Amino acid sequence: MAAAAPADQEGDRIRELPGQPPNVGFSQYSGYVTVNQARGRALFYWLVEAAPAAGPIAPLVLWLNGGPGCSSVGYGASEEVGPFRIRPDGKTLYLNKNSWNKAANLLFLESPAGVGFSYSNTSMDLYTAGDAKTALDAYAFMVNWLERFPQYKYREFYIAGESYAGHYVPQLAKLIFEKNNGTENPTINLKGFVVGNAVTDDYNDYLGTFEYWWSHGLISDSTYLNLKKTCLFDSSEHPSPECVKNLNLASSEEGNIDPYSLYTKPCNSSASLKLGLGGRYFLHKKVQWSVDSMSRHQCNVNNEMMVKQQPKRPWLSRAYDPCTERYSNIYYNLPEVQAALHANTTGIKYPWKTCSDIVGSYWADSPRSMLPIYHELIAAGIRIWVFSGDTDAVVPVTATRYSISALKLPTLMNWYPWYDHGKVGGWSQVYKGLTLVTVAGAGHEREGISGRRIVRRGLQRADPDQVVPPSGRADAAAIVARARPQVVAVVVRAGARGQAGGVLVIAARVGGAEAAAALAAEQARPPPEEAPGPGAEAGRAGDLVGLREARLVDGDEGDDALLPYILAVLGADAGRVPRRRAQISQVWSDGNYCRAANSQVKQMPLA
């Protein structure tokens, strides 16, 4: 019998949010966790548990938004990966079909104190926030939160975030790793982290951003050269006056665009340049405002007319709505919403805002690079996934690629397209310990792409170096033994000249006893007694002549996206491999590349 939930956990349960759709099928909790009793500092959280289809032991993902000083409730939960979207009336909600809670439990944290509903009774805390204190408070939050929610102790844990959370996420991961060091079974079971369009390394971020602006025709040749001359070696938190001068010039040349989604109209087409764009370059606070809060002021009261006149918004790419911040500012200031969320229990005197101008303006410390932390955590076996929407001009894909290139990691899979419902969804490159995924047509917040697919690709899929060639069942058994809980095992049987049938396994979704049982059932079957297929030459031990079987164990819709990483040409006779999907875009295994469509597999040269 399961232990009863702690009383304070039950007190945090959200019965129903105002305007919430009926029968959502998952539980929600929200409230405060004290991180510093002496100073009266408490952080607000919102837990959205995984949908039933994700399984009983789905991973826990902590989501952090950047700024610095911006709300994970306002952005992450309401505009990006959360289960609900707010309608333009600011009062009702609808379901987000791409919510990450279809694959994981989502824990949104408003951090640091002073952001959103999070608060401190010591007002000076709002003026002294910085990277170091934010990481310490987030760690204290997790330790205390797990005491309130002990069912998540030892659960697979990932940290995710975007923009300036490119600083929060790796620094918190490093702190957790250090605290866990030497502990055999840590309660915070950190497995990896995910960052999107992330501020990573000042030099490379500058370099890639200026290149993106210039190559997309946003700035002049002379401004491009002057930016590289005056800014490349500056701190992004404290740029030189000459750098700021050229950034302002770039802003003027770019005009009134939505830098978060380059080909989308801004929410308010009449917004002034300074209001709409003035402070969004990285962390440059030209009027001492944070990167996110400055450019987010586009959606002001004048937008009401635009919303009424153009309800269908025909220009919006990938269903992106640039006015969602306005809806959040209405919804989260409703007294009935705050009551349902157990928020603002101390009667904060100021209204809830998506970004805190105070916190962002007085940011204390910001290391110039996260790359040393990447190296340290990769060496320790922490998995890293980096996403980048390729229409974001704030932290663009070129900046991300320059930063990752600076790590000088070995490449395991070179640049290749990935597919979403039969169409190219973006491109990816797999390095040892890190995977880069770009998302075609997506901006800073990557609206409109399948969150469930992202979580499965990023959090639940086995690393490429865990894939073993079908050289023996002992290796396959070892892979399954290491499989993380809630992972589907893809089992491929193959025959080889002069060998018994081997087994190729990638752990991607079942794990534990189920995967072990699946493998045992495979091993119990007699080896194939078939002759080598065409192309096999006598005397070449290990020549692979054909797939005998490829199937998903306990798979469901979306898991077939894993097959491209498993189905490989192991011989000329692979065309008869059964599949659940007719189209398979890119396939890889052990150095063999091929393409398959409509169940036809064609050999391509070795990479």
Which is it for strands 499-507 and 544-552: parallel, antiparallel or unpaired? Answer: unpaired
Q: What is the C-alpha separation between 558 and 564, in angstroms, rounded?
A: 12
Which residues 6+ apart lie within 8 Å of 459 measured at CB?
Answer: 59, 61, 103, 104, 156, 158, 191, 192, 194, 385
Q: What is the pLDDT of residue 425?
A: 82
342 and 30 Cβ atoms separated by less than 8 Å: yes
Give pTM, 2 decimals. Answer: 0.72
Q: Where would I find the H helices in 184-261?
A: 202-215, 221-231, 241-254
Q: Tell me the C-alpha to C-alpha distance, in Å, between residue 360 and each of 171, 273, 297, 447.
A: 18, 20, 14, 25
Q: Are 356 and 115 in contact (CB under 8 A)?
A: yes
Helix (H, G, I), strand (E, B) or coil at 217: coil
CB 280 within 8 A of CB 291: yes
- In this predicted structure, what is the pLDDT of residue 326? 87
Question: Torsions phi, psi of 254, nearest 5?
Answer: -70, -35
- Per DSSP, the three-state class of 350 is coil
Mean pLDDT by 10 residues, the chain (607 residues): 70 96 94 97 97 87 94 93 94 92 94 96 94 98 97 95 95 97 91 92 94 94 95 77 92 85 63 30 34 34 32 30 82 97 91 92 92 97 90 90 96 85 83 90 56 53 35 37 35 36 34 44 44 32 30 36 34 32 28 28 27
pLDDT score at 444: 56
Active site residue 375: no
For residue 348, what pLDDT is reported? 86
Buried b (16+ CB within 10 A) or exposed e, 289-322: bbbbbbbbbbbeeebeebbeeeeebeebbbebbb
What pLDDT does residue 413 have? Answer: 87
131 noted as active-site residue: no
Q: 444 catalytic, yes or no?
A: yes
Among the listed residues 392, 543, 559, 573, the single catalytic one is 392
Q: What is the DSSP string of 53-95?
A: GG-TTPPEEEEE--TTTB-IIIIIIIIISSSEEE-TTSS-EEE
Active-site residue (options: 111, 321, 444, 589): 444
Instruction: Count the Cβ atoms, other than its own, within 10 Å of residue 527.
Output: 14
Q: Which two tokens stand for residue 123?
A: 């007002």
Query: Is the Cα torsion angle 326, 281, 451, 65 positive or negative in sign?
Result: negative
Domain chopping of the chain, boundaries: 202-320, 464-603
Query: Which pLDDT value is given to residue 510?
Result: 32
SS3 sequence of 570-602: CCCCHHHCCCCCCEEEEEEECCEEEEEECCEEE
Distance of CA 580 to the CA centre of its chain: 27
Q: Is the peptide bond before 112 cis (omega within 30 degrees of 0)?
A: yes
Of the residues 163, 366, 428, 589, only one is catalytic, namely 163
Task: Match 């990816």 to its residue by tokens.
Answer: 428
Nearest to 61 by CA among 9, 101, 32: 101
Residue type, 439: V
Which letter, b or e, does each residue of 569-582 get, where b requires 16 or more Cβ atoms within 10 Å of its Cβ? bbbbbbeebebeee
Q: d(Cα 225, Cα 214) in Å, to the nearest integer?
A: 10
Distances from the Cα of 527 to the Cαs of 217, 518, 547, in angstroms? 61, 16, 13
* pLDDT recorded at residue 3: 54
Q: Are 413 and 607 in contact (CB under 8 A)?
A: no
List the one residue out of 581, 517, 522, 529 whose CA is nearest residue 555. Answer: 581
| 296, containing H or E segment | none
